[in-house]
Each structure stands twice: as C-alpha cells, then as structure tokens.
Structure 1
Amino acid sequence: MKALTWQGKRRVTVESVADPVIEHPTDAIIRVTSTAICGSDLHLYELFGPFLDAGDILGHEAMGVVTEVGSEVRTLKVGDRVVIPFNIACGHCFMCERGLQSQCETTQVREYGSGAALFGYTKLYGQVPGGQAEYLRVPLADHNHIRIRDDLPDDRYLFLSDILPTAWQAVEYAEVPEKGSLVVMGLGPVGQFVSRIGVQRGYRVLAVDPEAPRREMAERHGVLARDLTKEVVPELRDLTDGRGPDAVVDAVGLEAHGSPAVAVAQSAVGMLPDALAQKLMDAAGIDRLASLHASIDVVRRGGTVSISGVYAGDADILPMKTLFDKQISLRMGQCNVKRWVDQLIPLVEDAADPLGVTDLVTHHAPLDDAPALYEKFQKKQDGCIKVVLRPGAVASDPAFAERQG
C-alpha cells in the first residue's frame, strides 16, 4: 500500500510499504477513504524528530470501511463504515470507565510515562502506524471505532476522529456560564470548532489569529475575530466589560507566535542526537508560551483557561503569582474522544450543519500530494486551514473531482 512516512525534519514522503495485517484477534483492518492532516502533525514535521524513526507512518485522523476483522472482534463486520478515534483505548479499565480514554491503563505507554497510545504519533505514544495510508490496522477494534451511516459524505464524519471532540472537550472544560463570554486563542481547525461550539451554545465568542483567512472563516460563523497585535489583550478586555472573558481556550500550543528565543531553542534541539534531544525535550522548558501567557493575562478573575493546544516541556515557567492572585482555574489534556461522540453525532448529521463541519476543509487532495500540503499547511500558504487526503484517489480521476464538490 501507499503511506505517508516521516523521513526527517520537514521531510515526509509517500512510500510503498507492507499492507497491515491482523496481529491480534482483537484487531480490524480498514480501507481508508479519508484522512486529514492535523495541526499536531506539524509538531512531528518540525519538532518531534527525536521520537520518530525514518519510515514511521503518520496520521491520526482517519475513517474508512472495514475489510477484515480478527477472530475475537464482536461488534464489527466487513463492510462497516467507521471513523477511528485517534486515541487507542480498551473501553473497560479504571480510566476508560470514567470517560478518560486518553489515559487508558491498558494502552498507556509506560516506557515514556505517557497516556494512552495514539495512531501515528511518535514513540512517546506507542509508535503505532498511522492513518495517512491506504489501509490501517485498528487495535482493540471493538472499542476503537465509531460506526456511521452510509448516506452522508466523509467530511460530515471525519472530524469525529479528533478535532471536533477535542474542541468540544475544550469548551466543556472552559465551564463558560450561560450567556457568558469566551475568547479563543488560535483559529486553526480546533480553534474554528471551539468558536463555533461556543456560538452554538449562545456564548459571546471572540478569537485571535494572525492569519486573515482564518479570521474570515471564523467570522462567517458569528465570531468576532481580531488580529494578533500588542494591543489585542487590552482590546479583548475592553470588549468584555473591562474585566476580561469568563473563559479562554488556548488552541495554539507549543509553537505559538511571539516567543522568538524559545523558537531558536526548539530548532537547536531538533539538531541534537536523538538520545540527548529526548532528554532535553522531556525535562526542559521548550514550549513557546506566548499564547498561554496571553490567555492567563486576558481571562477575568475567577475565570478558566482551557488548554487544547499541545505542550511538551516539563520545565516551562508559568506566572504562578498571577494564576494564584486571579484565582484562575486551568483545565487541559488529550481529548477523550469516545466520551463526547454521542453528543456530537446528532450535530454532524443535522442537515442544518450547526457546527459548520462542511465549512472547514480548504484543500482536498490525493495521498500523493501530502508532502506538498504538509509544507503548505505549516507555512499557512494558499489559505490552507484544513487538508483532507483521499487515499487511492488521483487528481485526474473524475470520481475524485466529483467528491470534492
């Protein structure tokens, strides 16, 4: 099969690799019909090379059709159409029973002190081959699938794999009061959905992003969007009765704008031998914290900062005096996809499309185009906000062109 593989910093290639096979009787194999490039994939493209090996298959947002099931799989059959959650969980351990599938005790990567294994996401999370490929092996398949209808297009469902439940959890964790105010830092795919969920719930939603196409997309969905400037925090405070919003979602994470010194350090870490770089990334303050600091600055006293952006350093310096003095609550964590799916499916299947899932993808492409689109997505060129790849398709195929409509 063809698969998108990591080969080095800012270098990914589509290669012919062995098809996945049933390795355990609880596995299933799916033929991938759609798979997306996630903003967190860009961290692998740029920064997480010390935890990757050349040839690793990337991707953790995938859906498709079941082609094979192991002998102990009970709830799936060949031909079922499914979305695959990005975290791999058992569904019955202490953590899973409490809706914390991202902390699953069956698949935790204890070698690195990490939570549940993830598809396509480094040694830190199990080095499980990912879904930017023509086929995907799904471990513990009875739990790690979302069965969906056959009559709606992939783009209605694909984002259930990660970014839509991630955004939903971020808003849940933000604990915005009824008719309250929410600021969203960053209008990438997760920030777009966070904003729309806030609007759908009746909050006043304001957002910050330096890219005009992202602000324009958010404004189509009732969001008041602002450019990233030195004056934006005072402006947001002024727009929320002078005290700041009830909650802020940081949807940016460790590669935020506005931290040039740490950006240089991140680049330097990527040039070190893997063993040394791994130690530094595990113990050093390598995160660019501008977005988080702005979130803490702007949120009102007694408010909540909810973090959905990825952070990786264990020695980051936080403004503890400010956090304590303002009595700020922090909520964060890897999304527990299956916890939120039952609430989300009616929304993505609603003909009115209340969360605008059909207004997010800016680029559809065959898998062969993935390397160029990784670069375009990272550099925010051509208005690139969300990329969906169609394995098995070619751009000249009329059926592919029809699906893009």
Structure 2
Amino acid sequence: MRAVTWRGVNEIGVEDVPDPSILNDHDLILEVGLSATCGSDLHLVGGYIPAMRAGDVLGHEFMGTVVETGSSVTKHHVGDRVVVVSFTSCGQCWYCRQGLFSLCDNGNPNPGLTEALWGQSIGGCYGYSHAMGGWAGSHAQYIRVPYADQGAFAIPDGVSDQRALFASDAAPTGWTGAHQAGVQAGDVVAVWGAGGVGQMAARAAMLMGAERVVVIDRLDNRLEQVRTHIGAETLDYEKTDIPAELREMSGGRGPDVCIEAVGMEAHSPGPQHIYDQVKQQMRLQTDRPTAVREAIYSCRKGGTVFTLGVFAGVVDKFPLGAVMNKALTLRGAQQHGHRYIPEILDRMSRDEVRTEHLATHVMSLEEGAKGYQMFKEKEDGCVRAVFVPGA
C-alpha cells in the first residue's frame, strides 16, 4: 500500500509499505478515509523528537471504515465508520481506569526511551516515533488499530467525515486542556496558539461556561477562523502587549486559566526568539518555551497554567520563581481522548462543535510531501493539510 513516510530530517516521502494485518485478537484493520497533519508532526519532521527511523509512516489524526476485525473485537464490525483516538491505550490498567488514558502502562511497547527522558513511560501514539511505541501512522491506505474496542468510536450518521476527523486528536486534546485546567463558569481563559488544538481548547472552554475566552496568535487567517468559527476573542502578539491586554480584559488580575497550545517550537518577536532558537539548534535545550513563559507571567495569582503543546525534554529560562511566588497551578498532559470523544461526537452531531474549517487543504496521499511543506510554512493560509488515501 502507499503511505507518507519520514525519510530523514525535513525529508518526507511517499512510498510502498507492507499492508497491515491482525496481530492480536483485539485489533482491527481500518481503511483510512481521511488523515490530517498535526502541529506536533512538525517536531518529528524537524528532527526534534528522537527515535524516528527512515520509512516510518507518519500521521495520528484519522478516521475511516472497518475492513477486518480480530476475534475479540465486540464494538465494531466490517463496514462501520469510526474515528480513532491518536493514543493507544489498553483501557484496563490503573491509569486507564482513572481516565488518564495517555498515561497507559500498556499502550507503548517500547518504554525504555521515555522512561529515561521522563522517569516513567506514557502510552503510545500512532506514527510518533519508536519512543512512543513504533506504531505505524495513519497517512496510509490502511492502518492496524490495537485495543480497537477502547480506541475506535462509531461516528454518528449526521456527522461528516471531515468534521469527525478532528475528533481524533485536535478536539479531544483541546478538551483535555480545558477540563484538566479546571475551567469553570465565569472564568477568563487565555489560549496561546490558534491552530487546530488551540481553537478546540477555546471552544471547549466556552462550552464549559467560561465568561471570556481570548486566543493569541500572529497569523491573520487563523485569528479570523477563531472569530468566525469558534466565537472567541483574539489578540495578535506582534501588535500588542499580551500580558497588559489580558490584565485589561480581566479586571486587572490576569486570566484565571492560561492554556499553552503551541509547543516546543514556539515563535516570538524580538531577541528572545533568536536566543531560544540558537540554544535549541545547538541542543543546549530541547524546547523553546516562549509561550509558556508568557502564560506564566500573564496568569493571575493563584491561577492555572496548562501546557497542552508538545514538549520533549528540557528548557532554559523557565520562570519557576513566578510559578511558586504567584501560587500558580502548573499542569500538562497529552490528550485523554478516550474520555472526551463520545461527548465531542455528540456535540458535533448537534452542531455545537464544528471543525470542517480546519481542513483548509485537502489532497491525495501522493501529495504528502507538498502537504507537509504547505503546513510547515503556512503557505496559502494552510491550517491543516488533510490527505485522502482513496483519491
């Protein structure tokens, strides 16, 4: 079958790879209908995430049609239209039973590297390096889905493929950030990053009752999407003093909740961006924490800062003193999508969550390299490139 693969740093290919097969009774094989690029993929492309190998199939946000099931799969049948959460989680271990699905003890069959990096291993993720399980990704004609009864969800009849696609990763990641940050009715919430995840975090916060939600970015087309499709307010960090504006919008205190949805390659104006970028390129730090710093400084005393963007290792100039002295709660997580996807699909069916606008560029699998180039460079207003393997 054909698939979009990682060939090396900043090198994407499209090639023939072996068809997947049932390896465990709890597996299913999915014919991929749609598969989206994700901002966290760019960390793989740029070589910032270890344990990638030439030929690895990329992609972790996808939906499709079931074509084969293992003998122990009970919830899905051939012909079913499903969306699959990006994290592989068993549903049975202690962490899964607590609803902390991305921390699954059994979802990552290669735990050694992440144990060395973080002290403990977390769950696995499709197409996201051998450190995260070595699972083949979704930018392919077919994909093997382990723990199928846990990780695949039937798509309601009234929900389109393009809407359901983003219930795989962008929407549940946003829901994880808003819910785990403890957004409450009446809160002022600030979200750094107007990509798919940031937009969904903002929408989740609104549906959880936040009084005011502000999304921060620099790209006009993404900010316009926030205003038009999400209904949140926006700020351009290249045109205004973000901490000052946020204090003005929150009675002088600062936001109750600050959600960072940018990650390890954050951009910023001014000399600190060059400083962080040079240190990252020289491997003196693995991540650029620009947006996290600003979120910490902007958050009200006693508030919560949630890191939702992907980070890999260590950062420089982290304002721990501000976290401690301002009595902030600092949290982070990969998505616990198994917990939130049923609610998201239900809200999608009632038009409370719309995501089709994120798919700004839909193309064939053979255009994989072009799609990633457009996505990385934000060419032609690209918010997400979406691949159609059957095209």
Superposed pair shares fold, TM > 0.5: yes
> How far apart in 1 are the matches of 2:319 and 2:91?
37
CA apart distance, 1:23: 1.8
Q: Does 1:260 align with 2:274?
A: yes
Query: Paired residues, what number?
Result: 377
CA apart distance, 1:268: 4.0
1:111 alignment counterpart = 112
Query: SS of the residue aligned with 1:191?
Result: helix
Cα deviation digits, residues 140-163 of structure 1 (max 9, x gap): 222221122345320121111111
TM-score by length of 1: 0.89
Cα deviation digits, residues 190-209 of structure 1 (max 9, x gap): 01111222233442011210
Q: 1:2 touches 1:133 (CA, 8 Å); kept in 2?
A: yes
Q: CA, structure 1 residues 151+205, in 2 after alignment: closer, same or farther (shift >3 Å)?
A: closer
1:337 alignment counterpart = 337
Cα deviation digits, residues 270-299 of structure 1 (max 9, x gap): xxxxxxxxxxxxxx6321111000000111
Aligned pair partner of 1:233 in 235, 243, 252: 243
> How far apart in 1 are the matches of 2:25 and 2:353?
38
> How far apart in 1 are the matches of 2:124 and 2:159?
30
> How far apart in 2 are the matches of 1:27 and 1:170?
29
1:33 alignment counterpart = 33
Q: 2:32 touches 2:142 (CA, 8 Å); kept in 1?
A: yes
CA apart distance, 1:167: 0.2
Percent identity, please: 37
> How far apart in 1 are the matches of 2:38 and 2:378?
13
> How far apart in 2 are the matches of 1:151 and 1:250?
32
Q: Which amino acid aligns with 1:388?
A: V
User: What RMSD over aligned residues (CA atoms) do the two structures have, in Å?
Assistant: 1.6
- Give 5+ residue unaligned stretches, structure 1: 270-283, 394-405
> How far apart in 1 are the matches of 2:93 and 2:49?
32
1:279 alignment counterpart = none
> How far apart in 2 are the matches of 1:89 and 1:241?
42
Q: Which amino acid aligns with 2:234?
A: A
Q: Answer with 102-111 or 12-21: which moved more.
A: 102-111
> How far apart in 2 are the matches of 1:218 and 1:315?
29
> How far apart in 2 are the matches of 1:21 and 1:265?
43
TM-score by length of 2: 0.92
2:382 alignment counterpart = 384
Cα deviation digits, residues 23-47 of structure 1 (max 9, x gap): 2222211100011101111111113
- Give 5+ residue unaligned stretches, structure 2: 116-120
Pairing 1:18-57 to 2, within 5 Å after superposition: 18-48=18-48, 50-57=50-57
Q: CA, structure 1 residues 357+285, in 2 after alignment: closer, same or farther (shift >3 Å)?
A: same
Q: 1:181 touches 1:240 (CA, 8 Å); kept in 2?
A: yes
> How far apart in 2 are the matches of 1:11 and 1:96?
36
2:174 alignment counterpart = 167
Q: Which amino acid aligns with 1:288?
A: R
Query: SS of the residue aligned with 1:364?
Result: strand
Pairing 1:131-170 to 2, within 5 Å after superposition: 131-170=138-177
Q: Which amino acid aligns with 2:304?
A: T
2:215 alignment counterpart = 207
Q: Which amino acid aligns with 1:173?
A: Q
Query: SS of the residue aligned with 2:356?
Result: coil
1:400 alignment counterpart = none
Q: 1:9 touches 1:49 (CA, 8 Å); kept in 2?
A: no
Q: Does 1:311 align with 2:291?
A: no
Q: CA, structure 1 residues 124+316, in 2 after alignment: closer, same or farther (shift >3 Å)?
A: farther
Q: 2:163 touches 2:354 (CA, 8 Å); kept in 1?
A: no
Q: 1:185 touches 1:208 (CA, 8 Å); kept in 2?
A: yes
1:90 alignment counterpart = 90
Q: Answer with 315-324 or 87-96: which moved more.
A: 315-324
CA apart distance, 1:377: 0.9
Q: Answer with 239-248 or 169-178: which moved more.
A: 169-178
Query: SS of the residue aligned with 2:32?
Result: strand
Cα deviation digits, residues 254-282 of structure 1 (max 9, x gap): 1001332232233344xxxxxxxxxxxxx
Q: Answer with 157-166 or 66-75: which moved more.
A: 66-75
> How far apart in 2 are the matches of 1:310 and 1:213?
23
1:362 alignment counterpart = 360
Q: CA, structure 1 residues 151+302, in 2 after alignment: closer, same or farther (shift >3 Å)?
A: closer
> How far apart in 2 are the matches of 1:297 and 1:29?
47
Query: SS of the residue aligned with 1:5?
Result: strand
Q: 1:177 touches 1:246 (CA, 8 Å); kept in 2?
A: no
Q: Which amino acid aligns with 1:52?
A: M
Query: SS of the residue aligned with 1:161?
Result: coil
Query: SS of the residue aligned with 2:167?
Result: helix
> How far apart in 2 are the matches of 1:78 and 1:202?
39
Q: 1:196 touches 1:356 (CA, 8 Å); kept in 2?
A: no
Q: 2:279 touches 2:285 (CA, 8 Å); kept in 1?
A: no
Pairing 1:267-286 to 2, within 5 Å after superposition: 267-269=281-283, 285-286=285-286
